[in-house]
Amino acid sequence: MKKRYVIAALAISLGLSACSNNGDVEEPQDEPQEEVQDQPQEEGQPEDAATSEEEPSISVGAEEELQEEIASQPGIADVMVQVEEGTTNRVNADIEINDEQELSAEEVAATYAEMIKEKYPDYAVDIIVIQDGQMLTQEQFE
């Protein structure tokens, strides 16, 4: 009778150890992602509807000359000017002022919007004025 208990105990412990993962957790493997490659379209085949409605390209570039001109003014700590050309032509300027600035944030925005409009008369101008990491104003000039 003792033999049966010993054999039963061994069988149970073997069964449990076979089902155990020893604390290792198997993480599910990600399915491999399929790479989609642009393939040249063969002549004579119609274009897909998705490819026929391509978004217009937008060109964005820094305007170094204006940045330097604005940055050289008193009360200006830092400036970034970007020109966007696409469906809407726009000039974005972030102007950081310091304690030496005598003009209000709105006056700063208007002053430098005029300067930008002289060079880009047909562009919308969006100016953000910042001081000590806080946005003081955001003005748009059409």
pTM: 0.57
CATH number of the domain located at residue range(s) 59-141 in this protein: 3.30.300.30
pLDDT of residue 79: 92
Q: Are strands 90-97 and 124-131 parallel, antiparallel or unpaired?
A: parallel
Identify the CA nearest to 111 among candidates 77, 89, 131, 139: 139
Which residues does residue 126 pair with via DSSP β-bridges, in sequence order? 92, 140
| Residues comprising the chain, all counted | 142
How many CA atoms within 13 Å lie on the side-chain side of 65? 5
pLDDT of residue 49: 44
Reply yes or no on whether the pLDDT at 89 is more than 70: yes
